[in-house]
Structure 1
Amino acid sequence: MKNLLIITLILISALNISGQSLDNLYITPTDSAAIDVNIDTHAGYGYGYLSHNYSIFTDTIKLTVCYWFISSTEVIVAHDIVNVNLPSGSNNYTLDLKLFNSTSTDTCDYFAFTDSAIMVFSTPVTDSLFLSV
């Protein structure tokens, strides 16, 4: 019975480690050629923003945001902003956001995929666009 309890606690802890969630995603205009992507997340462990990268192919923006994490019992809530420069010519975009955790605090090693969201919008962005996830 003691072994079963220990195994159950280990499984619950393992599930908690990959428990980062995207709460809100919204876009705010900065100027005619750029937007700020605002990302609200929470997790049942310690974590922080590490890095991001994005690519734009025709009308799709692929944005990857990476967070470092540490084993902790406190719940962390974070708000991060990523600036994305938009090319001229297209008016309709699809933002494909993917969140990852990294075991390294220096460079993203994409240890765990934690959440994602897709948002469709048109330019020019004149007001904030909000997606509750």
Structure 2
Amino acid sequence: MEIVDQTESVKGESGEQPISSPLLNRPGAVFIPVRDIEKARDWYCRILGIPSSTVTIMNGHLCSLPVDGSGIILDTMPMWGGNAPGGAPTFRTPAFMLLTEELDASYAFMKDHGAELVTDIQDDHWFVFRDPDGNMIMVCRA
């Protein structure tokens, strides 16, 4: 599909008339399913260089991380299986990526911080790791 303008009108490949959508054409935030909200907050804050003491847990299950761009929200997801014995399903494929200008240093950093590295650095551009809950997350060269 071809984006016509920023007012959410799109023109399909078949040449039909542009349509208008009330949805914005940009993502808001990524929700990451976690089992222990406090441990997850502390781990993500550590790898992202955010003081965990400055990040609030809301309603006992949500934690919005202060990041640039689209947000990252950690959530035990009580409505989506979080109350089940295994918790909400984890990301079995990377659902989003974190950017870096220092790919080798980022790979070493994740290794040093005990992340399970799923891949080595691929194509001198990216790698994938698992967070403590098993979610796969990609890191890409900016």
Q: Which TM-score band applies after superposition, normalised by the shorter structure?
A: under 0.3
More strand by share: 1
More helix by share: 2
- Larger RCO, structures 1/2 (Cα 8 Å, 6+ apart): 1
TM norm structure 1: 0.23
